[in-house]
Amino acid sequence: MFKQVCAFLALFIVLPIYANQSLSGVVYSKNKHQQQVPVTNATVEIHGHNHAELTDENGHFVLQLENKNSNKSFELHISAKGYQHKNIVLTQPLDTNKPMQIEMVSSVMEQIDVYASPLHSSTIESASAISVISDEELRNKHSSTLGDTLKSELGVHSSYFGPVSSSPIIRGLDGPRVMITQNSLDASDASRVGPDHVVSTETSTVKQIEILRGPATLLFGNGAIGGVVNVVDNRVPTNDDFEADYQVSHNTVANENEASVNFSSGLAAQGFDNVAVHFDAFTRSGDDYKIPEEAEAHDEEEHHDDEEHEEHEEEFDGTLANTASDADGFNVGASYLLDSGFVGVSFGQLNRLYGIPGHTHEEEEEEDHEEEEHEEELVQGDMTQNRVQVLSEFEFNHSFVTGLQTKFGFTDYQHAELENGERATEFKNKTSQLKSDLILAEMAGWHAALSFEYKHSDFSAIGEEAFTPASVTESKSVALLEEKHLGSVLLQLGARVESIEIEADLSSSSIADTKNTYDFTPVSLSSGIVWDFTKGYNLGVSLTRSERAPSASELFSYGAHIGTGSFEVGSVYAIEFDEDDQHNELVLSTEPTELETATNAELTLRKFNGDFGFIVNVFYNTIDNFYYSKQTGLMSSDLTEHDEDEHHDEEEHDDEGHEEEHEHEESDLPVYNTQVANAKFYGIESQFKWQLSPELKLVLQADSIIAKLTNGEYLPRIPPNRVGVSVNYQGDNWDMGINNMFYAAQNKLAPLETETDSYNMTDIDMAYYFQMGQQDMTAFANIRNVFNVAARVHSSYLKDVTLLPARGLHIGVRGKF
């Protein structure tokens, strides 16, 4: 704790020194008649510094400069929506008496700065694949879960544990390999432990969502070997701009009502010149959602006679049982603003109560097939998270350090799995995290950031079906990121070293001598280039080597997980068949516990100016010591402990025998064992955009991934190939978009895995814009699954018992002051 406090107090040790020198200019573009048109709201900033200015309605800006040495050069970065980023190298002394004239070139490809990187590069200035959704696009794609919000993004799918608990899958990887962050700090929930655990983020009030596809361990460390989803909001305000918006909406597919509000402002009018505050809140409530047909997949050739099938269909009420949900949350924050930066704090709370589909257990007609209402077991998730964040950014006029960005977060997370309203198992996670990025002064043309991070996580699971033991995970790391322009080539290098200690409480373990403490030292290296080989095009090449320590749940799990309907066994255990006693027994695994190591090569080709643009990514990722959950073909009753529990003295329990046998049948679960093998993931992602006219835009996209072990065996739940097309028309005060995504059948299957059929999913988005007093208003109507297609998500654990929602209308209104 002493080290954390010292690092945090470093924010206030050094004060920056500024001179009165300023740089002014005009940012403009040219229309088809080659006339200059001012670019409004363009961002002008110095690379490696946090201070930026926006151009006014005439395209004019004034940027205050540091008192730099006369022999130093620096980069001026200019960005604006709908235009190609521009970088200009300037050398002091500057002629500040002559305003700069900066011409921007239009671009159909979005180019947005990425907050996840301490060097604040844009989406086209990275050697690896990065995408960002924000503004109106984010509002249209917003859903009740993060996975559903992002499921149509290039290279991203959803785990789809029903509409209320879906996590992002990036290039076939999820769980402990994809880190979900809030303002670059770990979300610190239990979604990595099981797909039934909802991600503790909310998208209705956020500013933008950044998706880093591929290894991002340099920036985020262990747990980001497959990618990162960074949710950026304004809970800690960084300026005193006034922003206020709200939204109310209704979704017919689940009779869902939602409302949200977002407010940020400076308090100068109240006499607090350097203070800014923020508040946001939301509430959402929905019933079981409608589906096109009965959810459970039946093999038509199995023993179901026609009368039973018809009777089952008559009972189908058009909804998927146990998918109702309620959620609410809020964030409050305040910042103290300085000329050289800011420091702020926020507190937020998030609450979710949601059904977990596929786990209603019907009683069998054992007694003369009596026709009485079946008794069902209702399984729900009840989550509460309290979160404190302290963020700060400062600029220094120093020969070695020019900036300091510090982020501190404390998260108190609780998640209970309820059976018929009673708490069966409760998961708790308390996480403290401190990140500090030192922005180093330019040296020989190199821009660099030195990052330090400390994280402490105290996780526990309490209850009869706590399948993973309590554990404490502590990590410390240091990383260096560097980049340099060499003419038309941008060179990017990085390295990160971590120290990770995992200690589990195995006091209740049935196997003696199980090692409960593991120490790991993951090392990650990265190199890449971005080559602007001709005007409006660039080529990115990256090579990364990333290491990941297995999580405590991957190592030590043993028990029934009611959320996923499985019996989970960690990698430190093995299941062996004892031929003498003719039964299976749990033993300690003889395989060594090693770091998972990924070597990823990626090639990216981009065209980003003019009315036509594209991006094509090709990647090949080999992973040694890949930890994966494999279905063993056994049921939980096949394991020794369960056999012993089942065979108590029959004479003593004669009267209860049939009841216990029946209860056991209901709780018998398929056994999944975490195993280790070498694997490879490879695929292609492409997106093409045409601005056919000022009003009409066409977008085509496709992605494909193959994931299998080196022995040729395919990995389970890998998303299928897909192709999408969207057409968008922008009128004077309205717009409309039609989107269709084709998902191919997935027949590249793991052992014991079922195939999913192909389907088309069509959506329509409509919006009308108008003024109401001082408010910019938007009325919108979105139709999802226009043709009411019955579709299953192959990447879902519940694909055989759930369907995507039926046709639904989402209507609402947004207002912005």
Per-residue confidence band for 66, with pLDDT thresholds at 50, 70 and 90 = low
- What distance lies between CA 627 and its chain's CA centroid? 20
CB 769 within 8 A of CB 778: yes
For the record, the structure tokens of 412 come out as: 């108190």
For the record, the structure tokens of 130 come out as: 């990065």
The predicted model scores a pTM of: 0.88
Per-residue confidence band for 434, with pLDDT thresholds at 50, 70 and 90 = very high
CB 75 within 8 A of CB 49: no
**199: CATH:** 2.40.170.20
Asked if the structure places residue 309 within a domain, the reply is no
In order of 23, 61, 65, 417, 513, the CA distances from 76 in angstroms are 10, 13, 11, 52, 61
**What pLDDT digit, counting tens, does each position of 397-406 carry?**
778 899 999 9
pLDDT for the residue numbered 582: 63
pLDDT for the residue numbered 258: 97
Asked if the structure places residue 609 within a domain, the reply is yes
* CA atoms of 685 and 154, how far apart (whole Å): 7
Give the helix/strand (H/E) hosting 422: strand 422-443
Task: Please check the confidence at residue 665 and state whether its pLDDT lies above 80.
Answer: no
Task: Please check the confidence at residue 594 and state whether its pLDDT lies above 90.
Answer: yes
pLDDT for the residue numbered 72: 61
Give 546 or 668, the one with higher predicted confidence: 546
User: Mean pLDDT lowest for which of 483-487, 511-515, 525-529, 584-588?
Assistant: 511-515
CA-based max dimension of the chain: 101
* CA atoms of 395 and 17, how far apart (whole Å): 9
Q: What's the rounded mean pLDDT across residues 500-516?
A: 83
pLDDT for the residue numbered 360: 53
Q: What's the rounded mean pLDDT across residues 19-34?
A: 80
Asked if the structure places residue 68 within a domain, the reply is yes
Percent of the chain surpassing pLDDT 70: 86
User: Mean pLDDT lowest for which of 284-288, 485-489, 541-545, 646-650?
Assistant: 646-650
CB 66 within 8 A of CB 48: no
* CA atoms of 187 and 196, how far apart (whole Å): 16
Give 44 or 249, the one with higher predicted confidence: 249
Q: What's the rounded mean pLDDT across residues 22-51?
A: 83
SS3 of 678, please?
strand
67 and 205 belong to one structural domain = no
Task: Please check the confidence at residue 505 and state whether its pLDDT lies above 80.
Answer: yes
Q: What's the rounded mean pLDDT across residues 796-807?
A: 92
Asked if the structure places residue 108 within a domain, the reply is no
In order of 378, 625, 735, the CA distances from 570 in angstroms are 27, 14, 51
Residues with Cβ within 8 Å of 307's Cβ and at least 6 positions away in sequence, in order, are: none
Per-residue confidence band for 117, with pLDDT thresholds at 50, 70 and 90 = confident
CB 669 within 8 A of CB 134: no
263 and 402 belong to one structural domain = yes
Task: Please check the confidence at residue 670 and state whether its pLDDT lies above 60.
Answer: yes
Q: What's the rounded mean pLDDT across residues 111-129?
A: 85
Give the helix/strand (H/E) hosting 129: strand 129-134
Q: What's the rounded mean pLDDT across residues 667-688?
A: 93
* CA atoms of 525 and 218, how far apart (whole Å): 7
DSSP state of 746: B
Task: Please check the confidence at residue 419 and state whether its pLDDT lies above 90.
Answer: no
Asked if the structure places residue 761 within a domain, the reply is yes
Per-residue confidence band for 638, with pLDDT thresholds at 50, 70 and 90 = confident
User: Mean pLDDT lowest for which of 70-79, 188-197, 412-421?
Assistant: 70-79
573 and 637 belong to one structural domain = yes
Residue 64 structural domain: 2-103
Which of 132-141, 382-391, 417-426, 458-467: highest mean pLDDT? 382-391
C-alpha closest to that of 402 among 29, 174, 118, 160: 118
Cβ-in-10-Å burial (0-12, 13-18, 19+) of 483 comes to buried
**38: CATH:** 2.60.40.1120
β-strand partners of 619: 602, 683
Residues with Cβ within 8 Å of 35's Cβ and at least 6 positions away in sequence, in order, are: none
60 and 209 belong to one structural domain = no
In order of 177, 696, 735, 781, the CA distances from 727 in angstroms are 34, 7, 11, 16
69 and 143 belong to one structural domain = no
Task: Please check the confidence at residue 527 and state whether its pLDDT lies above 50.
Answer: yes
Task: Please check the confidence at residue 64 and state whether its pLDDT lies above 80.
Answer: no
Last residue within a domain, chosen from 56, 87, 103: 103
pLDDT for the residue numbered 640: 52
Task: Please check the confidence at residue 370 and state whether its pLDDT lies above 80.
Answer: no
363 and 293 belong to one structural domain = yes
- For residue 751, say if its preceding peptide bond is cis, omega within 30 degrees of 0: no
Per-residue confidence band for 51, with pLDDT thresholds at 50, 70 and 90 = low
647 and 541 belong to one structural domain = yes
Torsion-angle region of 644 (φ positive above 0: left; ψ -120 to 50: alpha; else: beta): alpha
pLDDT for the residue numbered 359: 63
**What pLDDT digit, counting tens, does each position of 305-341 carry?**
444 544 445 578 999 999 999 999 999 999 999 988 9
For 444-493, what is the HEC assignment? CCEEEEEEEEEEEEEEEEEECCCCCCCEEEEEEEEEEEEEEEECCEEEEE
440 and 526 belong to one structural domain = yes
* CA atoms of 435 and 449, how far apart (whole Å): 12
C-alpha closest to that of 77 among 60, 105, 102, 59: 102
458 and 524 belong to one structural domain = yes
For the record, the structure tokens of 545 come out as: 């080597």
Which of 261-265, 296-300, 589-593, 659-663: highest mean pLDDT? 261-265
Task: Please check the confidence at residue 777 and state whether its pLDDT lies above 60.
Answer: yes
Residues with Cβ within 8 Å of 317's Cβ and at least 6 positions away in sequence, in order, are: none
Q: What's the rounded mean pLDDT across residues 799-813?
A: 95
**What pLDDT digit, counting tens, does each position of 145-204 carry?**
999 999 999 999 999 887 778 899 999 999 899 999 999 999 988 888 888 888 899 999
Task: Count structural domains, the chain.
Answer: 2
Identity at 224, one-letter amino acid code? A
444 and 560 belong to one structural domain = yes
Q: What is the mean pLDDT of the chain?
A: 86
pLDDT for the residue numbered 195: 80
pLDDT for the residue numbered 190: 84
Asked if the structure places residue 117 within a domain, the reply is no
Residue 136: CB atoms within 10 A of its CB come to 15
pLDDT for the residue numbered 526: 96
Asked if the structure places residue 332 within a domain, the reply is no
531 and 407 belong to one structural domain = yes
612 and 698 belong to one structural domain = yes
Task: Please check the confidence at residue 19 and state whether its pLDDT lies above 60.
Answer: no
SS3 of 638, please?
helix
Bridge-based pairing of strands 759-772 and 734-743 is antiparallel
* CA atoms of 789 and 761, how far apart (whole Å): 7
Asked if the structure places residue 307 within a domain, the reply is no
DSSP state of 107: B
| Torsion of Cα atoms, 640 then 645 then 650 then 656, to 10° | -140
In order of 300, 386, 503, the CA distances from 563 in angstroms are 28, 23, 25
